[in-house]
Amino acid sequence: MNKTKCLIIGSGPAGYTAAIYAGRANLSPIVVCGPQMGGQLTQTTIVENFPGYPDGVDANQMMMEMQQQAERFGAQVIPGIVTDVDFSTRPAIITLDEGDKIEADTVIIATGASAKYLGLPDEQKYNGQGVSACATCDGFFYRKKVTAVVGGGDTACEDALYLSQLCRKVYLVVRKPFLRASKIMQERVMAAENIEILFEHNATGLYGENGVEGMHVVKRKGEADEQHYDVAIDGFFLAIGHKPNSDVFRKWVDTDEVGYIKTIGTTQQTRTPGLFAAGDVCDPTYRQAVVAAGTGCKAALEAERYLQTL
């Protein structure tokens, strides 16, 4: 059985930053990389808003460099998915999908949050080629172009407004005949001249030769006056929510109604001593790589201080 002073679950910006700090503190951390090496950031192409890369950087390259930096300070990165955690004993026992177990004095949960998709095959086909789940990450690439945002809540309205400052036109595709967003957000969207709301519409597919060139939509699906037509767009943004990857930890942490892990005060400490959370799994607000990295730093520093009390 592997043993470590600090186990980090997740290999995104939060996980690797935690590993860098834990490694420099001589904690010999182990990083369980999870189902997607590098985290959800690797689903995008170029990252332009992370400090230190004035010309932007390929997302996969950035995450590989973070991994190399963590390994330079002694972090061990291993494949696997955590299927069970047991904090009833000290050290805690973590079980991986292949049955391997790890004993850890401290654990940092950095498993992120997965964007919800419509389930269209075209979403995967055009992922990184016009399909995105992060307007603030990728909107810059669509300056003076036409985009569509799917969703009717606050996040969708915020994304549409953000894109409206960059894009020539933004379609807001709303399944219902009304917006679920707060009144103030509705008013702002309605007032934006270059946002067109497509009420009672569903996106059914995408098309394009070398990336997204348009979307197939259906209006009033299932009704007698159902209509099918195409809308020319350059970018397709999902804003129907995120699911925090926190299920396996629910017994040991408090979460909000969506599943985001609650931490104590301004720290990354959960309600279980020695168990910390960092990154998007505990951040329903910002969901940015640089913010995740900052919380990964905090979690590692707090883990180090916790170990000094044992």
227 close to 200: Cβ distance less than 8 angstroms: no
Respond yes or no: is residue 282 known to be catalytic: no
Respond yes or no: is residue 138 known to be catalytic: yes
Residues 6+ apart with CB under 8 A from 297: 17, 18, 21
Give me the catalytic one of 6, 33, 137, 282: 137
Give me the catalytic one of 6, 33, 134, 297: 134
Classify residue 193 as exposed, middle or buried by CB count within 10 Å of its CB (0-12, 13-18, 19+): exposed
Token representation of residue 99: 């049955």
Respond yes or no: is residue 157 known to be catalytic: no
Give me the catalytic one of 138, 234, 280, 283: 138
Residues forming the active site: 134, 137-138
